[in-house]
Structure 1
Amino acid sequence: MHMGSHAVALGLSVFTYGYARRHAGDRRFTFGTGKVNALGAYTSAIVLAGFALVMAWESAARFLAPMPIAFDWALLVAVVGLVVNGASALLLTARGGEAHDHHHHHHDHSAGHDHRPHGQEAGHPHEHHHHHEDHNLRSAYLHVLADALTSVFAIAALLAGKYAGAVWLDPLMGVVGAVLVARWAWFLLKETSRVLLDRRADADIRDSVRTAIEGVGDNRIADLHVWSIGPGMHAAALSVVTHRPRAPEHYRALLPDHLGIVHSTIEVHGCRETPSEAIVRRV
């Protein structure tokens, strides 16, 4: 049951990547399939939390009703599990440096709005590759790391039980492991739910957008929304007020590439008074 739960979770991660790639060009997804990544990781985190509850339940049962332990066989299984999960964790860490998310979406250009990412012509599909935090990969990593940690705790408890008679350490280590796994699950649920609920981007990203736009001429941002739509990808909607209005492409070109804003909606509003009139009015 233990290994089956992790096999299901890792299978879910594989399915998530496959689904996102197969439907990357599907125009029914307004912002592409980037959020499928977060949805898969969120579901995997729920599985991880369930695994923590099972660990805690079984450990409590062992406290109340201790069972005889086949130490030699248990140690062998725990060591093999540690090696396999350790190798899996290293593999996922290495693959994390090569991970890329494929994001496709299609937009049309309309007056006053710009829905096109940098370097793309209106009316043509496009693809983006960004290397940022991948919640789906992280969920898979946490699953094998939880398994590896469980093996370490099991080995320590089994050695103490075999050579020191401290059989109570077996359920105790189960409780400790359950607490740690539950904390990882909570962290993953919190991070992925932010993406799924369109929580606004961090302050440093919003400040970078504001600085880039307002640092040129007399531009002022009247309204600004930036949110995540996938690993390392953001969408932005902003209203610019200026005495000298320019086309939306001008303001979009000011957005720093490293912010990963692949979809932007820009409204430009001209002031009703000239700069000289504004100065007279302030005086």
Structure 2
Amino acid sequence: MNNDISYTHEHVFLGSSHDENAKRTLWVVMLTVVMMVGEIAAGYITGSMALLADGFHMATHAGALGIAAAAYSYAKRYASSTRYSFGTGKVGDLGGFASALILGLVALGIGVESVIRLLQPTEVQFGTATFIAIIGLIVNIVSALLLGHGHDHSHHDSHHGSDNNLRSAYVHVIADAFTSVLAIVALLAGRYLGWVWLDPAMGIVGAIVIARWAWSLMGATAGVLLDQTDNHVAEEIRELVEQPGDVTITDLHVWRVGPEAHAAIVSVLGEPTTNADTIRERLKPVHEVSHLTVEFRAASPK
């Protein structure tokens, strides 16, 4: 910690909106599960393959959102556990990565199914299917609004402190809303224009868009999980420490340990007039760093 008097400190690096985001995610899981059961049941009753596919598509999302909710719960429960060297701040990123992986598989499944349907068109009860798809879209919009507020709030807290767990839940809901819109357009065109091919064609478009979202989310979360260096913070540290010209950084590690927290290990070689406390003092303006370790070695006189 940047506090000189504190010799023992905790490693709780959860985001400032952790509890609020967890609550929002849980509400969305419940909404999604109810809609998913409704869509699958309606799919069986009407014999609509489109509804069944959308229902199972939603089921995978309910699972992914469930992962997000479980990640919040686990991170909170073990926040002060000594089992984790740097706390549980990255559990959300692990949840986000798992979620993105599921999203990628969903995109692949939708793509394959759409190609099969393009080659072998199936009979669809457009009227009932459209009605259920519209209800599905409304549920997605409500879910997106619930998560979206928290998503914006996490960005507002810190430019470099977005909550990847909330972001993954948000992306899932947006992807669901997007596919619902495509399904409604395709069903209406099928019903009124006789364009049966549009349903699977929209499925392919949806699969490509969802796959791109999944890929970008995997990239963001994998970077955190693999302790990727945050160059913005690293440059700031380098500048503040070396500017006076009396010390040289020999080794520097800066990585994310939570949605709004970074850890840094700074090894320096300095003049005998400086020490580790000097370095800590210089780094006080770097608010992103919540856990600072300084290693100081005095340069041998020439």
Give the TM-score, by structure 1 length.
0.81
User: 1:9 aligned to 2:64?
Assistant: yes
- For residues 165 and 86 of structure 2, the distance between their equivalents in structure 1, rounded to whole angstroms, comes to 18
Which residues in structure 2 correspond to 1:197-212 (within 5 Å)?
197-201=226-230, 203-212=231-240
Q: CA RMSD in A?
A: 1.9
Q: 1:253 aligns with which of 270, 277, 281?
A: 281
Which residue in 2 is equivalent to 1:47?
A: 102
- For residues 256 and 148 of structure 1, the distance between their equivalents in structure 2, rounded to whole angstroms, comes to 44
- For residues 226 and 17 of structure 1, the distance between their equivalents in structure 2, rounded to whole angstroms, comes to 24
- For residues 153 and 164 of structure 1, the distance between their equivalents in structure 2, rounded to whole angstroms, comes to 16
- For residues 234 and 15 of structure 1, the distance between their equivalents in structure 2, rounded to whole angstroms, comes to 23
Which residue in 2 is equivalent to 1:117?
A: none
Which residue in 1 is equivalent to 2:191?
A: 162
Shift of 1:250: 2.8
User: 1:22 aligned to 2:67?
Assistant: no
- For residues 175 and 154 of structure 2, the distance between their equivalents in structure 1, rounded to whole angstroms, comes to 22
Query: What SS does structure 2 have at the residue aligned with 1:228?
Result: strand
- For residues 211 and 59 of structure 2, the distance between their equivalents in structure 1, rounded to whole angstroms, comes to 18
Q: For 1:92-148, what per-residue CA distance to the aligned partner results, in whole angstroms no more than 9, with x for missing partners? A: 011234559xxxxxxxxxxxxxxxxxxxxxxxxxxxx97821110011001101100
Query: What SS does structure 2 have at the residue aligned with 1:139?
Result: helix
Amino acid at match of 2:259: P
Name the structure where helix makes up a greater proportion of residues: 2
Shift of 1:36: 0.8
Query: What SS does structure 1 have at the residue aligned with 2:265?
Result: strand
Shift of 1:261: 1.0
Contact 1:205 1:259 in 2 (8 A): no
Amino acid at match of 1:82: L
Which residue in 1 is equivalent to 2:38?
A: none
- For residues 128 and 195 of structure 2, the distance between their equivalents in structure 1, rounded to whole angstroms, comes to 18
Which residue in 2 is equivalent to 1:95?
A: 150
- For residues 219 and 250 of structure 1, the distance between their equivalents in structure 2, rounded to whole angstroms, comes to 10
Shift of 1:219: 2.2
Who wins on radius of gyration, i.e. which is larger? Answer: 1
The verdict on how the C-alpha distance between 1:86 and 1:207 changes in structure 2, with shifts beyond 3 A counting, is same
Contact 1:226 1:237 in 2 (8 A): yes
Q: Which runs of 4+ in 1 moved over 4 A?
A: 97-100, 256-259
- For residues 171 and 62 of structure 2, the distance between their equivalents in structure 1, rounded to whole angstroms, comes to 13
Contact 1:235 1:261 in 2 (8 A): yes
Shift of 1:256: 4.9
Which residue in 2 is equivalent to 1:63?
A: 118
Q: For 1:28-68, what per-residue CA distance to the aligned partner results, in whole angstroms no more than 9, with x for missing partners? A: 11000011111111111111111111111210121121111
Which 5+ residue runs of structure 1 have no aligned equivalent? 101-128, 278-283
Query: What SS does structure 1 have at the residue aligned with 2:90?
Result: helix
The verdict on how the C-alpha distance between 1:22 and 1:130 changes in structure 2, with shifts beyond 3 A counting, is farther
- For residues 155 and 60 of structure 1, the distance between their equivalents in structure 2, rounded to whole angstroms, comes to 19
Which 5+ residue runs of structure 2 have no aligned equivalent? 1-55
Shift of 1:269: 1.7
- For residues 232 and 299 of structure 2, the distance between their equivalents in structure 1, rounded to whole angstroms, comes to 28
Amino acid at match of 2:110: M
> Number of residue pairs matched?
245
Amino acid at match of 2:291: H
Give the TM-score, by structure 2 length.
0.76
Contact 2:100 2:218 in 1 (8 A): yes
Q: Percent identity?
A: 46
Q: 1:218 aligns with which of 216, 235, 246?
A: 246
Shift of 1:244: 3.3
Q: For 1:202-252, what per-residue CA distance to the aligned partner results, in whole angstroms no more than 9, with x for missing partners? A: x22211011111123522212211111121211111112221343423312
Amino acid at match of 2:221: T
- For residues 80 and 159 of structure 1, the distance between their equivalents in structure 2, rounded to whole angstroms, comes to 15
